């Protein structure tokens, strides 16, 4: 079934948003590199990599349906945050906005009767629940440790253990 232009346009917009997410988290990784919290930086770098894999999925879906990929400009992310906690609060805020966009895309897919697009989006609906949950956990821990050097060191070690994402983490092929 030929893909409708409206779906192509919305999917291209999401492709851009996934790439912006990657850019934002890479900027946060760079910020954490300057703080000595290498584990936090590692977590953010892997988060950025996962977002690039998400972008690949949207790219592949558009191409596989015979649509034309159109890359939009990517906004410059901030270079620093007020605190470690602030960076993760901004991460949560960003993920919540991505969730809203994914839900809007699902609504549009239903309205346009594009069941393939809707099926594709299911993975991302579930993925967003996981993203928000993970970031909420980190925020809760950061609030617990406050400025405790020992607590931050432990959290840094924990976040440093995040495995590198593989294609499977990017979503269904």
For Mg ion, how many residues bind (rule: CB under 5 A)? 3
To the nearest whole angstrom, how small is the minimum distance from the Cβ of residue 24 to Mg ion?
11
Is residue 33 within 8 Å of residue 139, measured between CB atoms? no
Question: Token pair 């159109």 is at which residue?
Answer: 70
Nearer to Mg ion (CB atom), residue 67 or residue 170: 170
Pick out residues in 115-134 that bind Mg ion (CB under 5 A): none
Is residue 39 within 8 Å of residue 157, measured between CB atoms? yes
What is the C-alpha to C-alpha distance for residues 137 and 5, in angstroms, rounded to an integer? 39
Nearer to Mg ion (CB atom), residue 53 or residue 139: 53
Chain residue at closest Cβ approach to Mg ion: 54
Angstrom CA distances, 14 to 7, 29, 31, 83, 120, stand at 10, 22, 25, 29, 13
Nearer to Mg ion (CB atom), residue 18 or residue 114: 18
Nearer to Mg ion (CB atom), residue 20 or residue 40: 20
Residues 6+ apart with CB under 8 A from 129: none
What is the C-alpha to C-alpha distance for residues 44 and 97, in angstroms, rounded to an integer? 18
Per-residue mark of binding to Mg ion, 47-86 (x: CB under 5 A):
----x--x--------------------------------
Stretch that binds Mg ion, among 3-11, 45-53, 145-153, 154-162 (CB under 5 A): 45-53
Q: Which of 89, 71, 94, 93 is nearest to 14 (CA)?
A: 71
Nearer to Mg ion (CB atom), residue 10 or residue 18: 18
Q: Which residues bind Mg ion (CB under 5 A)?
A: 18, 51, 54
């Amino acid at each position: 079934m030929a893909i409708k232009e409206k779906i192509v346009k919305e999917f291209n917009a999401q492709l851009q948003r996934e790439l912006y997410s990657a850019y934002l988290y890479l900027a946060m990784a760079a910020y954490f590199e300057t703080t000595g919290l290498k584990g936090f930086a590692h977590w953010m770098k892997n988060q950025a990599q996962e977002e690039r894999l998400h972008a690949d999925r949207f790219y592949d879906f558009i191409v596989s349906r015979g649509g034309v990929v159109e890359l939009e400009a990517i906004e410059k992310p901030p270079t620093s945050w007020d605190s470690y906690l602030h960076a993760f609060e901004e991460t949560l805020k960003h993920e919540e906005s991505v969730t809203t966009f994914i839900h809007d895309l699902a609504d549009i897919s239903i309205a346009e009767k594009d069941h393939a697009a809707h099926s594709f989006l299911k993975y991302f609906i579930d993925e967003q629940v996981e993203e928000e949950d993970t970031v909420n956990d980190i925020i809760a821990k950061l609030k617990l440790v406050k400025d405790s050097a020992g607590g931050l060191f432990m959290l840094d070690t924990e976040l440093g253990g995040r495995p590198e994402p593989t294609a499977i983490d990017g979503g269904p092929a």
